[in-house]
Amino acid sequence: MDGGLVSSVPVGRALDLGATRIFVLHVGLIEQALRVPRRPWDVALVAFEIGRRQQFSEDLSRVPAGVKVHILPTGTEVPGALSTRYGLTRHISRRIAAAREATAAYLHSTSGL
């Protein structure tokens, strides 16, 4: 397991370390509606996602004036489309290319970067 279990989008940690610009490469499912669990293990996944969303929202709410958080685009209409379940990587190259192109355009258009 990785640090995502503690803080999958560590905006709060970046703030604690004094960051004034934070870039979030969003690969999760924060904007997607949660599904009602159908299997026992789905309960754990939904609970984890609720906690993850709460932490991200809380971190964003404490961003002080003068700190800019950039949530980079995924390059797709589907929020969290870079996210993959283990073994479901069939279209990952296309998703990565779309995210790279969208992010490059975003960074180019954002003044001061």
Q: Which helix (H) or strand (E) holds 23?
A: strand 21-25
Task: Report the number of distinct structural domains present in the chain.
Answer: 1
pLDDT at site 84: 47
Of 95, 104, 97, the C-alpha closest to 70 is 104
Q: Kindly report, residue by residue over 25-55, the tens digit of the pLDDT.
A: 876 666 678 889 999 988 988 888 888 888 8
Query: Is the per-residue pLDDT at 110 higher than 60?
Result: yes
DSSP assignment string, 90-108? TTHHHHHHHHHHHHHHHHH
Domain that holds residue 68: 4-109
Q: Kindly report, residue by residue over 65-92, the tens digit of the pLDDT.
A: 999 999 888 777 655 444 545 455 677 7
What is the number of other CB atoms lying within 10 angstroms of the CB of residue 59? 20
Q: 26 Cβ partners below 8 Å, 6+ apart?
A: 9, 71, 72, 74, 79, 80, 82
